[in-house]
Chain A
Amino acid sequence: QSVLTQPPAVSGAPGQRVTISCTGSSSNIGTGYEVHWYQQLPGRAPQLLIYGNSNRPSGVPDRFSGSKSGTSASLAITGLQAEDEADYYCQSYDNSLGAYVFGAGTKVTVL
């Protein structure tokens, strides 16, 4: 069981906005450690989507945005597209475990 909690699944119609939460604690997100997000398309390796809570690497569409507040972070996808169907993982550092940790992942389905 991960110390970063994500909903197992979210869904939305094309064009809609969906959000994925990543809830941590005082030993990770709440302490000030940054949150990063990865997209894993079916059968593929994860790809960096958001780093440093809210920064997009070059090439990532601005439909993807990240935010952080307190012990939680969120990934928002606006203008949902069929190609966004994937698993999404948040990542941070936990000073109690002494390890970089990932959430269990959220499967996004485009209806």
Chain B
Amino acid sequence: QVQLQESGPGLVKPSETLSLTCTVSGGSVNGYFWSWIRQPPGKGLEWIGFVYSSGSTNYNPSLQSRVTISIDTSKNQFSLSLTSVTAADTAVYYCARARRDYGDYFFDYWGQGTLVAVSA
């Protein structure tokens, strides 16, 4: 059973960089797409982007200028960096595995989520 666990600071100051890591256990990161998704308190889900095990990426255009997702296959981890954060970036951040059968990508395994607040 694949398990994902997010880690990182729970509080980030405005204008600084939010950095999170997702550790994958029970399976390898190789051969899959890995994603970050966030959920502001009391609101819906927003896809942030993907990284493939090769390191290739695909970002939500609405966040692309501020986002970097990277992967470390030797550690079975992938990471999120979001620059120049504001209060609007306060959210629960989830890491998830993306998969498709014959059609389009969906998210079949999720981490428990970590709340990141942006505040001075």
Q: Could you list which residues of chain A lie within 8 angstroms of chain B, going by C-beta atoms?
A: 2, 33-34, 36, 38, 44-48, 51-52, 55, 57, 89, 91-93, 97-105
Contacts and interface: CB of A to CB of B under 8 A. Distances in A.
Interface of B: 43-47, 60-62, 94, 101-108, 110-113
Contacts, number: 63
Main secondary structure of the interface of B (DSSP, over half): loop
Contact of A33 (B46, B61, B104, B108): B104
Nearest to B62: A99
Contacts of B113: 45
Contacts of B62: 97, 99
Contact of B110 (A2, A47, A52, A100): A47
Contact of A57 (B60, B108, B112): B108
A104 B104 contact: no
A51 B106 contact: yes
